[in-house]
């Protein structure tokens, strides 16, 4: 066969090394990730340079800068390695009753996107050794795909599953809407806005905004701007539960998912009020998983578990 490559001479570990150096762009950090010495990583880069006939990475004061060739082959190499990993994982059986795996779910606020208490109850019954980690990722409304931070976390295998709301999902991912959500205004009991929820009172009030970065830009701000109105964001916090605790003790208002407020309203003494402006359609809570990861019996089991839990919850009236 013309141009046939002898794969017996190709070291798959070099592709793993390339992927790690590409991600870290630093020999020392890549060496730590791979449990190798920096000299071993440098030697591996030299072998890759010889085999691929390109410098691949240029040493700079800030680390290793990839060449155009390295940038061009990064995605194909990542895809090959993902397929190999999926093949190896698929060959290993998953038994939730005996598994000791830890799964990572990426979402803007796990307490709002995933019914954690129901998930943990289910794990206690059917998967007592399985652990769950939540990785906070926030949408970047300046991007064409605001949820690219979540997609990058999946690509880098920093998360097994992402729970996102709006926007386009790239074709390299499987996705499914598991339930719909709407937002309400949370306020302390006796707040003047709750008794007269007008747009004027909403805009005159001070507000809490969920923002991991501290940025006050938001879709609510954009919706108000289209009406020629503004609001003052007095406080930004990274989690809804913090926002609710602050709102309970002040005159601040916060927009939160209706299910989240229903779960904590009695504890904090809060009431829900419909926003005095059009929010558009309800938000769809969507699970996103790389296609290759669905060959992982453990990930598929967790997706099925979340889907089952979602089917048992309804939007509060």
Distance between CA 104 and CA 135 in Å, rounded?
A: 7
Residue 293's closest CA among 302, 284, 285? 302
Distance between CA 208 and CA 195 in Å, rounded?
A: 20
Residue 2: predicted pLDDT: 41
Residues above pLDDT 70, as percent of the chain: 92
> Has this prediction a pTM greater than 0.75?
no
DSSP state of 292: G
Q: 262 CB contacts (<8 Å, ≥6 apart)?
A: 272, 316
**Cα separations (Å) of 270 from 100, 111, 114, 277?**
39, 17, 21, 21
Q: What per-residue string of b and e applies to 148-171 under the rule 16 or more CB within 10 Å gives b?
A: bbbbebbbeeebbbbbbbeeebee
* CATH 3.40.190.10 residue window(s) in the chain: 102-179+282-310, 183-273
Distance between CA 255 and CA 187 in Å, rounded?
A: 9
Please say whether the structural domain 7-90 has been given the CATH code 1.10.10.10. yes
User: What does pLDDT average to over the chain?
Assistant: 87
Task: Indicate the CATH number for domain 183-273.
Answer: 3.40.190.10
Residue 203: predicted pLDDT: 96
Give pLDDT tens digits for 17-43. Answer: 999 999 999 999 999 999 999 999 999
Distance between CA 12 and CA 162 in Å, rounded?
A: 29
Per DSSP, the three-state class of 134 is strand
CATH topology of domain 102-179+282-310: D-Maltodextrin-Binding Protein; domain 2 (3.40.190)
Distance between CA 39 and CA 28 in Å, rounded?
A: 9
Residue 136's closest CA among 158, 121, 156, 166? 158
Binned at pLDDT 50, 70 and 90, residue 1 comes out as very low
Distance between CA 136 and CA 105 in Å, rounded?
A: 8
Q: Which of 183-192, 197-206, 216-225 is the least confident region?
A: 216-225
Give pLDDT tens digits for 73-121. Answer: 998 898 888 778 777 766 667 899 999 999 999 988 755 566 788 899 9
């Amino acid at each position: 066969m013309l141009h046939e490559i002898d794969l017996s001479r190709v070291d798959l570990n070099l592709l793993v090394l390339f992927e790690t150096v590409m991600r870290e762009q630093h020999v020392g950090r890549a060496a730590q990730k791979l449990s190798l010495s920096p000299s071993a990583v440098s030697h591996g880069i030299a072998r890759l340079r010889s085999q691929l006939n390109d410098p691949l990475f240029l040493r700079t004061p800030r680390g290793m800068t990839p060449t155009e060739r390295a940038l061009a082959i990064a995605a194909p190499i990542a895809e090959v390695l993902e397929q190999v990993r999926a093949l190896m994982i698929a060959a290993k059986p998953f038994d939730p009753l005996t598994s000791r795996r830890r799964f990572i779910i990426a979402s803007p606020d796990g307490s709002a996107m995933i019914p954690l208490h129901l998930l943990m109850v289910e794990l206690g019954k059917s998967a007592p050794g399985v652990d769950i980690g939540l990785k906070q990722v926030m949408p970047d409304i300046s991007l064409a795909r605001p949820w690219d931070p979540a997609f990058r976390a999946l690509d880098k295998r920093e998360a097994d599953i992402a729970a996102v709301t709006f926007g386009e999902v790239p074709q390299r991912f499987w996705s499914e809407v598991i339930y719909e959500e709407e937002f309400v205004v949370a306020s302390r009991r006796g707040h003047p806005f709750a008794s007269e929820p007008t747009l004027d009172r909403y805009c005159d009030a001070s507000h809490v905004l969920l923002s991991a970065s501290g940025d006050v830009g938001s879709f609510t701000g954009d919706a108000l701007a289209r009406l020629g109105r503004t609001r003052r964001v007095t406080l930004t916090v990274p989690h809804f539960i913090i926002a609710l605790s602050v709102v309970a003790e002040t005159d601040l208002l916060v927009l939160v998912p209706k299910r989240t407020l229903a779960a904590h309203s009695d504890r904090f003494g809060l009431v829900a009020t419909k926003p005095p402006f059009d929010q558009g359609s309800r938000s769809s809570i969507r699970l996103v998983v790389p296609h290759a990861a669905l060959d992982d019996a453990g990930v598929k089991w967790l997706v099925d578990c979340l889907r089952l839990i979602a089917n048992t919850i309804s939007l509060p009236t």
